[in-house]
Amino acid sequence: MSQARIPFRERLLLNTPLVTDGSVAAELAERGYFETPAALYNLKNPVLIETIHRDFLQTGIEMIQTNTEHANRIALDRWNLADKVYEINRKGVWIARCAALHKGYVAAVVGPVGRFLAPLGTITPDEIRQAFIEQIIALADGGTDILMLKSFIDVHELEIAIDAAKYVAPNLPIIAQKTFPEDGAVLSTAYPAEISDRLTKSGVDVIGSNSTVGPQRMLDIIKSLPQTDTPLCAQPDVGIPTIIDGKSVFNADTEYVARSVRRLVEAGVMIVGADGGATVKHIRAIVQAVKDAVIGSAKTEPKKIKVHEQEPPREDERSQFHKLLGTKFLATVELDIPRGLDMSSVIEGARYCKEHGIDAVNISDGARARLRMNSIAISKMVQDQVGIDCLAHLACRDRNMIGLQSEIIGGYAMGVRNILAVTGDPTQIGDYPYATSVYDVDAIGLIRAMGQMNSGRDLMGNPIGRPTSFLIACAANPCAFDIDREVRRMEHKAAQGAHIAFSQPVFEIKTLETFLNRIHHLNIRFMLGVIPLRTPRHADFLHYEVPGMDVPEWVRKRMHATTSTEEASREGITMAVDFLREAKNMVDGVYLMPPFKKYSMAVEILEQL
């Protein structure tokens, strides 16, 4: 313990293993305390937290981590504790210092905010930075020796935290840890080296990784990092937990964890410990296992780095519709998707459209939250059986961030190249009103995912093998009630990689002109949505009962002036043709939505242009 009395930066020069503690949350659970967040115990039961710190110290460790990982304003807000940021964090450092009594270093822990940054979420980098600044002020006021930034999956968020730390406490040492939940395929690429380079250049004192993986995978991560003069830190979970009644249960063998952590030291790690599930008994075993270990004694060959993920996209992988974009006036038709398994009407409709020169068909994804077959699967069927391009709509409502990316990767592998990102109608209006609406991300986040994949990476920046060639489509509503908001969202969609916008139905030229003028600065193609009205009831339904739809009064009056269904249908086609003739030179194509599977109406409109 005498080594702990020298300044931390001098301790790093000794080049001997430094062991930190384990998980306060795991120890709380061992003792029957399950309330969340764990940081709340800093206020409710500080003696308990100090006892846990002392128990860890008695194992022979040199560093205590404060019980503050999830104690920033944004994370605490979900428990209505945002007003307790300063109190929880300053008290967390004070408790740790009382336990340490100059026998060990106190590392004040800062973790991620637990929400997606814009454009995936609504929170901005500046809001996150301010949350970190507020937390770090409290930690610094408490008298911490070190700032430990840990559990960051998003390296951009970690860099924001580093910037905040340097702003608040420029003289405090910083340990920065990126969590790598990736598999071996990612670890064998240049990605870990890129992360190491970014963190090293940020000027932190120690870099490393913690959490989400067990000791063996952590060893793979460490071996994937390039050799650097910056000391390394590694805190693996003790294993992969089993979820029982909503709680994580770890059944890791203590000696196995200790032996594995020793290998981390021998691979070059200076600061070691364990994270998820790590109790006092795990840390005691680790201290004994590494006390005579030599840092970097196990020489390993540098990993061979795969570079194929940097291949440029293959030009011939773009869809035919994508290649035609900008070369001619395009036409797509939305197909009516039935319930159940029988897609014969969809196949017949697609075949009719192809025979009449339609460039692509639109396949909706559970529109109005109704249960329908997956749009990717239908698109695959249509493309295989008919040979016409599909624009598969994909809703964010039903899939989380992982599921959405899995869906689009799977669709790409099956040849579905055109994806129209939609946020999706909420489940409460559909067939299953008690089902959960996910909305991990909205349409802008999904567009970003495809934009990233077109650059060869997923949403978190992990390489996916090689770039995709998606045609990224989005929705636009020129008739939106809040047109300023609609324009702002269009700007975000274009910025994240959308190539083309498909509009909600428009009925008059003035509305179209106004919207196009508002988005003329965007580098995005535009498909004009048109519904040929069928009956007066159809017009009224769209106007009064479909959110976001605006059928002008003069249009509804013309429909109501008709005296038969046939006359009304002819009037609907006439208005669509007249409107399109006037609008044709302003847009890149038309997105026709004929009602009641009347695909002949779409063909008739196009023939009259």
Q: Tens digits of per-residue pLDDT, 493-509?
A: 999 999 999 999 999 99
pLDDT at 250 over 80: no
Residue 494 confidence (pLDDT): 96
Predicted confidence at residue 149, as pLDDT, reads: 98
**CA-CA distance, 46 to 491, in Å (whole number)?**
49
Within 342-440, residue ranges assigned H as helices are: 344-355, 375-386, 401-413
> What is the mean predicted confidence (pLDDT) over 17-32?
95
Contacts (Cβ under 8 Å, ≥6 apart) of 268:
222, 227, 232, 295, 296
Angle in degrees, CA 464, 466, 472, rounded to 5: 85
Decide if pLDDT at 19 tops 50: yes
Rounded mean pLDDT, 51-78: 97
Check residues 212 and 468 and name the one with the higher pLDDT. 468
First to last CA, the chain: 86
Strands of 135-216 (E only): list them: 146-152, 174-178, 206-210
Tell me the C-alpha distance between 332 and 529, whole Å: 9
In this structure, the number of other CB atoms found within 10 A of the CB of residue 347 comes to 17
CA neighbor of 392 nearest in space, from 409, 368, 374: 374
The most distant pair of C-alpha atoms in the chain lies apart, rounded to whole Å, by 97
Q: Provide the pLDDT for residue 249.
A: 66
The token pair at 363 is 């396949």
Dihedral over alpha carbons 314, 459, 392, 321 (to 10 degrees): -30
Residue 476's DSSP bridge partners are: 503
Residues 11-37 have a mean pLDDT of 94
Note the pLDDT of residue 311.
55
Question: Which has more pLDDT, 134 or 4?
Answer: 134
Mean pLDDT score, 75-85:
96
Identify the weakest region by mean pLDDT among 246-255, 532-541, 590-599.
246-255
Q: Which CATH architecture has domain 2-210?
A: Alpha-Beta Barrel (3.20)
Work out the average pLDDT over 517-536: 96
Cα-to-chain-centroid distance, residue 185? 20
- Cα–Cα distance, 144 to 97 (Å, whole number): 8
Q: What is the pLDDT of residue 126?
A: 96
Q: How far apart are CA 349 and CA 129, in angstroms?
A: 52
Average pLDDT of the chain?
A: 91
For residue 2, pLDDT over 60 is answered with no
Q: 358 pLDDT exceeds 90? A: yes
Question: Which pairing describes strands 242-244 and 247-249: parallel, antiparallel, or unpaired?
Answer: antiparallel
Tell whether the model's pLDDT for residue 25 goes beyond 70.
Answer: yes
Q: Can you say whether the dihedral through the CA atoms of 33, 38, 44, 49 is positive or negative?
A: positive
Judged against a pLDDT cut of 80, whether residue 469 lies above it is answered with: yes
- Can you tell me which residue has the tokens 């003035």? 510
Q: What percent of the chain has pLDDT over 70?
A: 93
pLDDT bucket at 304, cuts 50 / 70 / 90: low
Ordered alpha helix ranges (H), 179-306: 184-187, 191-201, 215-224, 254-266, 280-290
What CATH code would you report for 314-533+588-599? Answer: 3.20.20.220
Q: Is 478 left (phi over 0), alpha (psi -120 to 50) or beta?
A: alpha
Percent residues over pLDDT 90 in the chain? 76
pLDDT tens figures, 133-187:
999 999 999 999 999 999 998 899 999 999 999 999 999 999 999 998 756 556 6
pLDDT at 309 over 50: no
- Structure tokens that stand for 253 in this block: 């063998």
| pLDDT in the model for residue 298 | 84
Residue 471, φ and ψ in degrees, nearest 5? -85, 115
The H or E element containing residue 607 is: helix 599-607
Residue 367 is predicted with a pLDDT of: 79
Beta strands per DSSP E along 44-130: 63-65, 105-110
263-301 tens-digit pLDDT:
999 999 999 999 999 999 999 999 999 999 999 998 666
pLDDT band at 424 (very low <50, low <70, confident <90, very high): confident
The CA distance from 12 to 18, in Å, is 9
> Band of the pLDDT at 1, cuts 50, 70, 90?
very low
Encode pLDDT of 95-105 as tens digits.
999 999 878 99
Question: 230-239, 242-251, 431-440: which range is least confident on average?
Answer: 242-251
384-417 pLDDT per residue, tens: 999 999 999 999 999 898 999 999 999 999 999 9
What is the spatial distance between Cα 248 and Cα 262, in angstroms, rounded to a whole number? 25
Write out the two tokens for 512. 């179209």
Q: Where is average pLDDT lowest: 371-375, 429-433, 583-587?
A: 429-433
pLDDT of residue 308: 44
Q: With CA atoms as reference, report the closest residue to 442 among 123, 154, 125, 120.
A: 120
pLDDT of 462 > 90? The answer is no
Question: Under DSSP, is residue 474 helix (H, G, I), strand (E, B) or coil?
Answer: strand
- Tally of CB atoms within 10 A around 435: 15
Tokens representing 456? 């060869």
pLDDT (mean) for 525-533: 96
**Residues 6+ positions from 371 with CB-CB distance below 8 Å:** 339, 430, 431, 432
Radius of gyration of the chain (CA): 29
CA 549-550-556 angle, to 5 degrees, is 125
pLDDT at 188: 62
Domain with CATH 3.20.20.220 in the chain: 314-533+588-599
Give the pLDDT score at 313: 52
Task: List 234's β-bridge partners, or say none.
Answer: 209, 272
Count of H-run helices and E-run strands, the chain: 24, 18
Quick one: pLDDT at residue 561? 96
Q: What is the pLDDT of residue 434?
A: 79
Residue 430's pLDDT is what? Answer: 75
Residues contacting 17, CB < 8 A, separation 6+: 265, 269, 270, 271, 272, 290, 291, 293, 295
Q: How many residues does the chain have?
A: 609
CA distances 90 to 33, 94, 190, Å, are 22, 6, 39
Q: ω into residue 37 within 30 of 0, thus cis?
A: yes
Neighbouring C-alpha atoms within 13 Å toward the C-beta of 174: 24
Backbone angles phi, psi at 463, to 5 degrees: -65, 145
Ranges in the chain annotated CATH 3.20.20.330: 2-210
